[in-house]
């Protein structure tokens, strides 16, 4: 009987403030998110400061970001900074095969929270339970929806001055039920972004704190060479470098270990044992040499970091360029929004003089929110032909330009390819040296 009753108990794991304490010093690269969360910490430390003026602290905070950006770590750091208990549970822990269990677990979780107030309840991957209602293929009122309804009721049912703050994390905010995101439930949405170059350097600094690092290691160069890496990726990179150094019986982690670890994470393990025929190696050398040469000859291209013909993963060779600055497609979302508004003006709102007050195209319900059965085409055959022609023009134009560069500099390409066959790896400075020596030789020949 006892086991049956325990089934409806929450699976939340309580982490005491004293054990495994994580603070903001352990979190780097997401400074804006830390600043926003400082208010929550101040409230947990001194609630009267906010309530005496009639203010109401947010009941819930939603951390939004890609996997590995540090959402869970950030939630634990809030609890560590405020020195309060921390309840951690995953969204999938609420979902069970038996009806009513999820709702029962939600009730039990909030009861535990109130008993241990002030505290933080952290729900990871909340999209598992908080998805838009009616977005499934099954019946409308399934077990998951009951669980979500109970969560909504519980979040409405406790006062913000009780000192229980709900922090949830998701990488899919678009699929969450609007009722969950309204003020009074999750008042704040904090974006935990992929770190920029400064953020990556700070994160590497945190993860190398407990490692024995050579004085010659420059973390800013490692940060520059890892665009798009999340905090978890960088932690993995440092760990791989430490393992490589230990395998080689070194006393400290050197630049070469970090470089090798980065290549391993980005491109896979070296396939040194793979026997490649000479002709295939030669083709790979010319192929990668061509990449490097074209990149060097195009103005404003990212600098070459490394060219190699050592096979890694599924590739026989790799040319790696390092961006000098961060790259952003700021206008991408603006263009998408503008296109959507224009489409609605013409197809739904009857605002086109030419087409009149008619509704074109039927709205299709998403089977699972965020995933459609098929991608619908909402443009004409004529526009499709224009898109194809434009794609072809762009690609063939770039191809002709690249071929022209290689034809003009064929002797440099031969030198790069032959050097690659001999050394297997060339860095950017060595490529520069080959080009410079060839040009100096030409100038000397002209003068002679």
**Across the beta sheet with 304-308, what order do the strands follow?**
318-321, 304-308, 425-427
| Annotated active-site residue in 288, 336, 382, 422 | 288
Helix (H, G, I), strand (E, B) or coil at 121: strand
Task: Decide: 232 and 226 in contact? Cβ < 8 Å.
Answer: no
Which tokens go with 238? 């440092």
Q: How far is CA 371 from the centre of its chain?
A: 20
Pairing state between β 60-64 and 164-170: parallel
The DSSP secondary-structure symbol of 186 reads E
* 288 classed as catalytic: yes
Which tokens go with 53? 């003026």
Task: Decide: 93 and 137 in contact? Cβ < 8 Å.
Answer: no
Helices 428-447 and 278-297: crossing angle in degrees, nearest 10, is 80
Pairing state between β 86-90 and 13-15: antiparallel
**How far apart (Å, rounded) are the C-alpha atoms in residues 119 and 47?**
12
Integer angstrom CA distances of residue 91 from 79, 106, 178: 19, 10, 17
Residue showing tokens 């050398």 = 285
- Per-residue pLDDT 10s for the chain (448 aa) are 444 445 556 666 666 656 667 888 888 888 888 888 888 888 888 877 877 887 777 788 899 988 888 888 888 888 888 888 888 888 888 776 666 777 888 888 888 888 887 888 888 888 888 887 765 545 445 677 788 888 888 887 766 556 788 899 998 888 888 888 888 888 888 888 888 888 999 999 999 988 888 888 889 888 888 888 888 999 999 999 999 999 999 999 998 899 888 888 877 777 766 777 888 889 989 999 999 999 999 988 888 888 888 887 777 888 877 776 666 666 677 778 888 888 888 888 888 888 788 777 655 544 444 444 444 566 678 877 888 888 889 889 999 999 999 999 999 999 999 999 988 888 888 999 998 888 888 877 777 6
Give the CA diameter of the chain.
Answer: 100
Task: Decide: 117 and 163 in contact? Cβ < 8 Å.
Answer: yes
Model-level pTM greater than 0.75? no
């Amino acid at each position: 009987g006892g086991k049956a009753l325990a089934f409806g108990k929450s699976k939340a794991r309580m982490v005491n403030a004293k054990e495994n304490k994580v603070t903001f010093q352990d979190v780097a690269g997401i400074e804006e998110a830390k600043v926003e969360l400082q208010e929550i910490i101040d409230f947990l430390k001194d609630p009267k400061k906010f309530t005496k003026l009639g203010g109401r602290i947010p009941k819930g905070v939603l951390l939004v970001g890609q996997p590995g950006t540090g959402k869970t770590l950030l939630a634990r750091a809030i609890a560590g900074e405020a020195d309060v208990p921390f309840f951690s549970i995953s969204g999938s822990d609420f979902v069970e095969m038996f009806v009513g269990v999820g709702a029962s677990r939600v009730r039990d979780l909030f009861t535990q929270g109130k008993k241990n107030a002030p505290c933080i309840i952290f729900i990871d991957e909340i999209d598992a339970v908080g998805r838009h209602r009616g977005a499934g293929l099954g019946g409308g009122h399934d077990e998951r929806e009951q669980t979500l309804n109970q969560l909504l009721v519980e979040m409405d049912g406790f006062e913000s001055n009780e000192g229980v703050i709900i922090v949830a994390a998701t990488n899919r905010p678009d699929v969450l039920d609007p009722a969950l995101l309204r003020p009074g439930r999750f008042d704040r949405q904090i974006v935990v972004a992929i770190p920029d170059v400064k953020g990556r350097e700070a994160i590497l600094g945190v993860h190398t704190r407990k490692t024995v690092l050579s004085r010659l290691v420059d973390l800013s160069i490692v940060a520059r060479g890892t665009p798009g890496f999340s905090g978890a990726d960088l932690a993995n990179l440092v760990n791989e470098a430490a393992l490589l150094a230990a395998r080689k019986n070194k006393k400290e982690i050197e630049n070469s270990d970090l470089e090798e670890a980065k290549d391993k994470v980005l491109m896979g393990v070296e396939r040194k044992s793979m026997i490649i025929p000479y002709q295939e190696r030669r083709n790979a050398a010319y192929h990668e040499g061509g990449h490097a040469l074209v990149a060097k000859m195009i103005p404003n291209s990212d600098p070459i970091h490394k060219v190699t013909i050592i096979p890694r993963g599924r590739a026989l060779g790799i040319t790696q360029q390092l961006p000098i600055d961060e790259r952003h497609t700021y206008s991408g979302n603006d263009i998408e929004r503008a296109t959507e508004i224009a489409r609605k003006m013409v197809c739904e709102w009857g605002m086109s003089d030419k087409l009149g007050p008619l509704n074109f195209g039927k709205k299709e319900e998403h089977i699972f929110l965020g995933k459609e059965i098929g991608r619908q085409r909402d443009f004409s055959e004529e526009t499709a032909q224009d898109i194809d022609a434009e794609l072809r023009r762009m690609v063939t134009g770039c191809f002709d330009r690249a071929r022209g560069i290689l034809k003009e500099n064929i002797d440099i390409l031969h030198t790069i390819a032959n050097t690659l066959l001999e050394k297997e790896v060339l860095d950017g400075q060595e490529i520069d040296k080959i080009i410079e020596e060839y040009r100096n030789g030409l100038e000397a020949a002209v003068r002679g």
